[in-house]
Amino acid sequence: KGAFDVSADTPQAASDMAASLGLPLAEAEKFADVARRVYGKNLGESVGDAATAVGLLAQQMGLAADDPALQTMTENALRLRKTFGIDVSESIGTVKNLMENFGISGQEAFDLIAAGNQKGLNASGDMLETINEYSVQFASGGATASEFFSIMESGFQNGMLGTDKAAD
């Protein structure tokens, strides 16, 4: 039944992606195949859910269907959602900011966000907002992404309420 559901959902995902990405159906089918592979790794609630994440990444990061980073980053975004409850669109935007501001890879950015959550930096629910607000200032000041996260962690460990206060 599961295999039938996946094969039945993939054409609908392709159709939805063609509409959301403004692509011909044949091109959208390549993106739907990425979504099917992601869902096949038990990520996403359905092929359609995985396709939504693939589409967001394609739009926000400008990734093509044949770019291996599209599948990897989609998997990472869905893992953050599954593990920490982080909205896919919000995590993608934050990863993009980290990549642009600090010149790091998408994998490094996802890893930093996951590690920050594991260390409790999002206890106040403001970690991604802090990253988006302050990463450009820290990067402009010569800090690395690791140093930026270390400052937020030090503030958290020293009793500051929220990463926003630590970054200030």
State whether residue 141 is helix, strand or coil.
Answer: coil
Q: Is the pLDDT reported for residue 30 higher than 70? A: yes
Contacts for 79-82: CB closer than 8 Å, 24+ residues apart: 79/43, 79/114, 80/110, 80/113, 80/114, 80/117, 82/43
At residue 1, the pLDDT reads 37
Across all residues in the chain, what is the average pLDDT?
Answer: 88
More confident of the two residues 108 and 10: 108
Quick: pLDDT tens for 125-144. 889 999 999 999 999 999 99
CB-based contact 98:131 (threshold 8 Å):
yes
At residue 17, the pLDDT reads 82
d(CA 127, CA 134): 10
- The mean-pLDDT minimum among 33-42, 65-74, 101-110, 148-157 falls in 148-157
d(CA 6, CA 126): 36
DSSP 8-state code for residue 46? S
Q: Is the pLDDT reported for residue 15 higher than 90? A: no
State whether residue 28 is helix, strand or coil.
Answer: helix
% of the chain with per-residue pLDDT over 70 = 88
Alpha helices in the chain (DSSP H): 2-21, 25-40, 47-61, 68-84, 88-102, 106-118, 127-140, 145-157, 163-167
DSSP 8-state code for residue 148? H
Quick: pLDDT tens for 60-116. 999 999 999 999 999 999 999 999 999 999 999 999 999 999 999 999 999 999 999
